[in-house]
A and B are shown apart, each in its own frame.
Chain A
């Protein structure tokens, strides 16, 4: 797979008159996993939504392979870059295989017919996410973790080199959070898919990401390898929280332990 490049150049974005991001620059590392972290309302979702061209920039631009993504034909972008929004909606009663098949939308025009290649893409996506045995179930009957795997399968059926995810682990039990992050790592390692995700949990972000982006107040505070970024200073600046950083005994990555006012030894 050829690696596509995605970068953000002097981007200002927001909703209505409100500007949330102020002149932000960021290069996404191709073929790696990037996690964006920060406190609530720091602009991390705004950044992801701008990159996925769901939000038009007020100033600056988002460049996909050097071209302004907001001016490219939507279907062409959708064949390169997939997105899993925070709360996608499943139509009532839709079967898993049918929903995953919706991921083939950008590969079809008004008149084109469904082909063998489409079936193969759907099957591959479901195999990768271990949802094949759910193929004929209705999506509304699935558990939260299963449903999230199905949505990821849909994004995979899109067969894009870039995958953006907005908080893919929220509302999931801890075991399903790990399952989803493992799955995304599989994808990255086997197919070389570039993964960019917004994550709530700092420690999971530090464990799974190759590149950590910490945001505060609509700007980039720090970026780099988790070891460099996840420091006591960063946590204080980004979350306003005292903490200690220790090596995670299971992964060797840094791990943040919060310090409150009580129960401190």
Chain B
């Protein structure tokens, strides 16, 4: 009798969750289709389908097949990675400010990618590997610097801000040494961009989503218990330390691989989780919805940067301009409640 009452509430939450995820997937697909059709010139849906089917259509094969499709695919995959990785950090550290792009992990990956490309003249998977290693190194460094008998959230964030500032100047230094000072290329490593995306770049992104994303989702129940506090999570039988390590490795992997390809697209990791949580409400883990929101942010932000604004801007400039007011809103809200975030 009472058990059925509990079951009803649980099923209602599950239904809402599925509706949100389904709706987000549908919207994302629609956005994907629209960005393939719209742009400088309109391409009819049938033509898009013919190009996707591999037929050679004069004109459309180039604009859709070579320009728009790779760009949209890379945008979506990078957005999924940023959204997942960012939300994982925010859940684990129980603080929306503790996202990898604020505490310097994206910056670390970006520095490694810039060094690998500009100084060591590498490309392809080696860049991703270096980015992942650097991201992990920054994560370990920040953790070590901020911990003094347990990790204090505020200190971790401030340490991260300091480390980011230093890494930023390393990027600026490396870029100033680059043989040809190219503003567009510099923008990629400072704010993130999907300009000139290739379909071949989708492969490492897919692989990282499969490996790191899979690891993260398999740990999502343990991760959820961390939201109740470390002590409660341990009392519920979660191995807190092991979960932490798995989540950090997976989230840093996702963020770093995506950063090595698109640059640190500003604030996508930071924004996706809270937006997803707002849409989803208290109906289960926010991981998957956050990934979908991240994909939508990058896809739409890139489209807006290309076609909706007076000049052509890389996607990172658009998301950066979106994210900053939200960060300010968080601070104002923190002030109003008087407590921490």
Contact = CB atoms under 8 A, between A and B. Distances in A.
A and B in direct contact, judged by CB atoms within 8 A = yes
B10 A123 contact: no
Interface string A69-85: 00000111111001111
B151 interface: no
Contact of A106 (B6, B13, B229, B236): B236
A75 B235 contact: no
B65 to A, nearest CB: 40
B225 interface: yes
A216 B28 CA distance: 62
A92 B228 CA distance: 10
Interface of A: 15-16, 49, 52-54, 74-79, 82-95, 97-99, 101-103, 105-106, 108, 110, 114, 116, 119-120, 122-124, 126-127, 132, 135-136, 138, 155, 158
Contact of B6 (A84, A86, A93, A135): A135
Interface residues of B, number: 29
A98 B282 contact: yes
A39 B321 CA distance: 53
Contact of B235 (A82, A89, A120, A122): A82
Given A74-B238, A74-B239, A102-B236, A83 B231 contact: yes
A71 to B, nearest CB: 12
B232 interface: yes
Nearest to A16: B149
Given A95-B13, A136-B9, A110 B237 contact: no
Given A79-B237, A97-B9, 19 more contacts: A16-B149, A54-B231, A74-B237, A74-B239, A84-B232, A85-B231, A89-B227, A91-B227, A92-B277, A92-B282, A97-B10, A98-B10, A98-B282, A119-B6, A123-B6, A124-B2, A135-B5, A138-B282, A158-B235
Nearest to A89: B229
Interface in B2-60: 2-7, 9-10, 13
Contacts of B3: 116, 119-120, 122-123
B234 interface: yes
Interface string B232-270: 101111110000000000000000000000000000000
